Homo-oligomer: A and B are copies of this chain.
Amino acid sequence: MLTTLTALAEPTRLRIVELLQSSPRYVGEIEKLLVLSQPQVSKHLRVLREAGVVESTVVAQRRLYELRRQPFQEMAAWLEGYRRSWEDHLDALEAHLEKIGDDQ
């Protein structure tokens, strides 16, 4: 979780990820669409790749980058735990209120 969060918690990288949501892109495309320097793009993609957020496939001398599902699924699952705990607390609250109601 931490690695994924760290990878996404950087403005430029988040922009890259948001771009890749619509479709896979080559490094040069990302560079031009987001107006970044080429090394900047490569380095951010490296971080994203090492965090498992993206993967690349070689196409001639270019590399096509796309998102991996796993980290997003994991984040969703992680959040699910928080959603559930609130639900539980609400359930407990409701139960409590009901009990109070019974007493009156």
Contacts and interface: CB of A to CB of B under 8 A. Distances in A.
Interface of A: 1-2, 5-6, 8-9, 11, 14, 21-22, 67, 69, 72-73, 75-76, 79, 81-83, 85-86
Q: Is the interface of A mostly helix, strand, loop or mixed?
A: helix
A69 B85 contact: no
A79 B76 contact: yes
Contact of A75 (B21, B79, B86): B79
Contacts of A69: 86
Given A6-B9, A14-B1, A76 B85 contact: no
A73 B82 CA distance: 9
Contacts of A83: 72-73, 76
